[in-house]
Structure 1
Amino acid sequence: MSHPPSASSSFHLSLPRRAVFAVPDGAGVGIECRSGAVWVTLDRDLRDIVLAPGERFEASGHRPMLVSALEASCIAVSHAQPAAMPLAAARRRPSPWRLPALGLSPA
């Protein structure tokens, strides 16, 4: 018997010093520092969010998030709630994974 997917999923990630973990849409994503120290930055957010072991931050808006390791660190990444890009916003903004067309073709 299969179980429905959990509304909360998480994983641990080890980051060497100066490594950066990027989250394209940080809405509902939680970051907990397990060891070391990390700096969390959100697109268009002026706050400096530095996490020490045991501290946690959860993003609320639909915006890119970067987690930078200030020293060798381990973080727990969780999705407190499944996040989806609002349909209207997805239409206005091109995919961060798609390169702009420049009239070139792979050959």
Structure 2
Amino acid sequence: MTANFDQAFVELDRDLFVRIVDAVGSSVTCISGCLWITRDGSLKDVELEPGERYLVEDAARVIVTGFGPSLARLSHPQVQHRPARPLGSLLRGWRRRLEVV
């Protein structure tokens, strides 16, 4: 299953996990229980207790599971979009870059 979200609460256990791809900028907060976080390419796993938060600093795939019944809050920063420029303005900018002087 693939889901896109800005924030989600997920119940986890030893047999339940969530995989986050393109996780850069995402954060995992332990609400209750105990969470175990594994990152692709990292030899060091992270354990979170209630109230602790982990910030993902690169685009590695992240897997989050619980040591027992646990609740995690997953947050991903919203993408800031620039307002669209009129097509004429965009084309003039490209023409200036392509002109030979």
Q: TM-score range by the shorter chain?
A: 0.5 to 0.7
| Residue 49 of structure 1: aligned partner | 46
**Separation (CA, whole Å) in 1 of partners of 2:75 and 2:27:** 5
1:17 correspondence with 2:14: yes
Q: Which has the larger radius of gyration?
A: 2
Task: Give the paired residue count.
Answer: 75
Alignment partner of 1:72 out of 59, 69, 72: 69
Letter in 2 for 1:18: D
Q: Percent identity?
A: 29
* Structure 2 unaligned residues grouped into runs of 5+: 80-101
Q: Which has the higher helix share?
A: 2
Runs of 4+ off more than 3 Å: none
Question: Considering only aligned residues, what root-mean-square deviation do their CA atoms show, in Å?
Answer: 1.6
Tell me the TM-score normalised to structure 2 length: 0.67
